Every structure is written in C-alpha cells, then in structure tokens.
Structure 1
Amino acid sequence: MLKARIITAVLLLAGLLAAVFLLPASGWLVLCALVCAAAAWEWGALAGFAQPVRLATAVSFGGACLVLGFITGFAAPSAAGGALLVPLYILSALFWLLVVPLWLARKWTLSNPMLASVTGFVVLVPTALALVHLRAISPWLMLGVMAVVWVADIAAYFSGRAFGRHKLAPSISPGKTWEGAIGGGLAVLIFGFGVLTWQGASQPGGALVVGAVLVGWTAISIIGDLYESLLKRQAGIKDSGNILPGHGGILDRIDSLTSTLPMVALGTVLLGR
C-alpha cells in the first residue's frame, strides 16, 4: 500500500507540474473543470445519488466551472476577472468558517438531495475556480498554497503516528490526534517562514500576524479533511473513489484544498493582487 501511495504521489506531482507549466490558460481551465466534474461524481456517491443524478451533477458542476471561468476571463492568460468571483469565494468562506464547524458538531447529513447538491457546488466549484485564478496570478503562488496544505497533512500524519495520544475527533476520524494537528501547524510555520526568508520577502503586519495566518490556514485545512471524513463515515465508505491507487478518489486528495484555496483566492482579490 505504501509503495502504491508513493508511486501514485510521484506521478500525480509530475502530471501536476507538467500541466501547470505547459498548458495554456484555456487548457488549464478545462483540466480544472474536468477535475471538478470527477470530484462531483464522487460527491454524488457521498450523497447517495443514483447514477443518472451523479452524472448530471458531474456534468453540471464541470460545466459551471467552465462557464464561470470563461466569463471571468480565465481562458486567457490573465487574472483580471478574479473580482467577479468574490461573491462565490465569500460564500465558500462563510460555509467553512460558520457552517462546517456546526455541521461537524451536530453530525448533519446529506440526506436532502437539494441540500446535497447546493453544498457540493459550494465545496467544489469555488475550489476549481480558485485553482484557475491562482495559477493565472502565478503558478508558483498556486503551488505554494498547495504545498502549505501538503506540508500540514504530511506532518500531521507522521506527528500523529509518533506522538499521537489525544484524539482530535474520535467519532469522525479516529486516526487524527491533537498531537498530529500541532505537528502539522509547527511544520507549516517552519515551512512558511523558511520560504519567506529564502525569498527575502517582507512579512506584512509582522511575524505574529504571519504566524497567526499560517496556523489559521492549517486549522482550516484540517476542517476540510474532517468534513470529508464525516461524510464518508456517514455514507459507509472508506474512500471517495478508487481512481488513485493507494490514495482513493479525487475528493480524498483535495479535501483539505476545498477549504483553503477559495479563501486564499479571496485574499488575493482583497489585497489587490
């Protein structure tokens, strides 16, 4: 299993880098729309949709990503249309900051098809568009944002295995611990400040503000992970899919990104990037 995970991870990383640096803007938009559609297909399984409804969900979510991407100008090498997505990004941020903590605490389900569809749209479409948006600003910015989430996830896993004693959310994801979460946060702080120092970049607001942002970023990524874990547990499945050997499905790989990417994209617009 570990060998399969490593091989798949290497191939995914190589494919991602090739797509990020070689595809034109329109090609990247299409790719992100396809990923959104594939994730929507898996979302349909979590929601208990019949196959025709799952297919309709996948097509409509992917199509929405394409249409919104073209309307905002992301089919051309420009991020100028990002401001048009602010309402969608704000909706995503409110969902993750206000709704999901309550959802996790009260163990709500996706039993209502309309609720499941709307929720899936809020989770997946802003994420796909944020990928397009951030890459339009800078491929390195997009990869850096993703790297922070990956560092948090990997460090939390190994810290939890080595030091984990106190369960973070035992009824949702028994394997996650507070020690793992702390380890993930510390790793992100080291990574974030290391990158800023290496680039000689200024730290707006000072080190304390940057540190608070990085820790908050880690916490939001963990919430995204826990949210998908809850939905999988309620659906009675271990992985959202089996398209990625050793890793499960698309949703299993982007769960932490769904809660972080739209917020970063929103931040770039508000900061005038």
Structure 2
Amino acid sequence: MLGPRVITALVLLAVLLPAIFVFPPLVWGVLTLAFLAVAAWEWVRLLPARAGGPAGAGAGLAAGAVLVAGAAALAWREHAPWPPMLVAVACLLLLAFWVFAAPTRLARHEARSGGAPLAAALLFGCWCALYELRLLGPVPLLSSMAVIWVADIAAYFFGRALGRRKLAPSISPGKSWEGAVGGFFAVAVAGLLAAGAPALQNSLPALLVQRTGPVLAVAALVAIAALSIVGDLHESLLKREAGVKDSGWILPGHGGMLDRIDALIPTMPAALLLYQLLR
C-alpha cells in the first residue's frame, strides 16, 4: 500500500507545486475547483439515497453546482475583486457552521443531515478561500495550509508515543487527546519560528504576531488546528454512517479527494478571514 501512496503523493506535488509557484493564480483556481467538485461528488455519495446517495443523481448535481458557481466566481474575480465585506461575511458564516453546528452534529452522530446543498456550499466556500489565499501569494496560501499539516503530523507522532485517552472513540478510534495537544504544541512552536523568519513575513503566523502579539497569535493558530480536527472528525463520521472506509478511490493509496482535504474545509475560510481582518 505504501508504493501507490507515495506515487500518488509525488504526482500531486508535481501538479500542485507549479500551480502555486510557476503558473498564474487562475491555474490554481481551475485545478482546485476540479478537486473540490470531486470532493462534493464524494460527499453526496456518502449521504442517504433520498439526499443523492450512490444510486441517485444528487452527487452529480452537487459537483456540477460547485463547478458552475466556481466558474462564475472565477470570471468575476478575473475582472474585479470580490467585495471584502462579502468575503468576510461568507467566511464568518462558514466559520459559524464549523464552530457551532458541526460539533453538535458530531455529538448527535448526524453528519449526513443538510444533504447535497450543504455539502456544495461548504466545499464551494473552501474553494473560494483557497483561491483568494493564492491571489494573496504563495506564502499566505502555503502558510495557512501548513498549520494543518504541522498539526496533523505532530498529532500522529504524539498520539503514537503518548496516546492513552481517546478523543472520539465512537467516530475515529485512532485519535487521542495527547495527540491533539501535541499537534497544538507543534503548531505554536512552528508558528512562532515562522514569524521570525525574514522570508516568511507575509505568512499567517508572522501577520498574527505582528498585529496581535505572540500570545494571541498562538491562540489563533491553535484554534485553526482545532478546527482541522473538527473537519477531520466530521468526514470520519460521514464515512462511518455510510459504512465505508474511504470517501472514494480517485487517489490510489489515499482514498478519495474528500479524505485528503477534510481538514482544509473548515480551516481555509478561517485563515482567509484572519487575513481580511489583519491586513
């Protein structure tokens, strides 16, 4: 299983890195829009049949809705900026869902409510944030995503070494409180180090430290890492309710697209909102 996993990761890097560093932002926008549309299709395939399950047309409609809305948003953004107030309100609404509604859904084991419209709206919102962050530059985009990567990698190793108390045993038995705290600690340390690097002065950690000070900056970065756990658990519950191991098969060794971006869905709008407020 390791071979296909590594090959898929290398292929993804070969596609994504030029889109971030070499080609115009529009290429990143088109590429990630396709990814998020696939994720919408996978999400709705996990829902009950009445909401567009495996035998229904809802998955295709959700993916099509993301593509159409994204194409319209791309055309708009190519000619004029999206109104800052509109972006901020949209990010706030998405953040409110992940802070208030998503934990309730997890507690009640009801991740599949809301149907295809909710899936399409959340994934479209994530895509808008990814595109706008790329328009701000490679460093804002990568530093925002790096918060999630650092938290996830550190949580894995801390959890393997110290994990005793399960974080959500009925949803994702592999996650532990010790792993989560280890991830938060790693994010705090990495964020402060990044904030001091001259080449990363436009990064999210640096901007937070410059505008709010190190204490509030660490609190914001840890909050984003906590949001990533909510997104991960939400997708795990979706799969558990659907009785499947992976959201799809499009990425050999990794599962589906949704499996790879679940932590980005709640966190990218939050990161963009911070940039909107602090720049």
Report the TM-score when normalising by structure 2.
0.89
Unaligned runs of 5+ in 1: none
Equivalent runs, 1:19-168 vs 2, <5 Å: 19-48=19-48, 49=52, 50-71=55-76, 73=77, 75=78, 81-110=83-112, 115-168=114-167
Letter in structure 1 aligned against 2:74: G
**Alpha-carbon RMSD:** 1.9
Separation in structure 1 between the aligned mates of residue 150 and residue 43 of structure 2, nearest angstrom? 25
3-state DSSP of counterpart to 1:220: helix
> Is the 2:227–2:266 contact (alpha carbons within 8 Å) kept by the matching residues of 1?
yes
Change (3 A) 1:126 1:23: same
Please list the CA deviations of residues 85-141 of structure 1 after superposition, one character each: whole Å capped at 9, or x if unmatched.
233212211100110011111111425xxx212220232011011111000011111
Q: CA deviation at 1:184?
A: 0.9
The alignment status of 1:14 with 2:19, answered yes or no, reads no
Report the TM-score when normalising by structure 1.
0.91
Match of 2:197 in 1: 198
Separation in structure 2 between the aligned mates of residue 101 and residue 228 of structure 1, nearest angstrom? 12
The runs of at least 4 aligned residues of structure 1 exceeding 6 Å deviation read none
Change (3 A) 1:228 1:128: same
Equivalent runs, 1:219-258 vs 2, <5 Å: 219-258=226-265
What is the identity percentage for the equivalent residue pairs of Structure 1 and Structure 2?
46
3-state DSSP of counterpart to 2:173: strand
Match of 2:219 in 1: 212
| 227-236 or 158-167: bigger deviation | 158-167
- Tell me the number of residue pairs that the alignment of Structure 1 and Structure 2 aligns: 266
> Is the 2:247–2:259 contact (alpha carbons within 8 Å) kept by the matching residues of 1?
yes
Separation in structure 1 between the aligned mates of residue 181 and residue 74 of structure 2, nearest angstrom? 37
| 200-209 or 143-152: bigger deviation | 200-209
> Is the 1:37–1:62 contact (alpha carbons within 8 Å) kept by the matching residues of 2?
yes
3-state DSSP of counterpart to 1:195: helix
Unaligned runs of 5+ in 2: none
> Is the 1:69–1:129 contact (alpha carbons within 8 Å) kept by the matching residues of 2?
no
Q: CA deviation at 1:30?
A: 1.8
Change (3 A) 1:16 1:79: farther
Please list the CA deviations of residues 5-64 of structure 1 after superposition, one character each: whole Å capped at 9, or x if unmatched.
233223322321111123323332222221121111101111132342211211111211
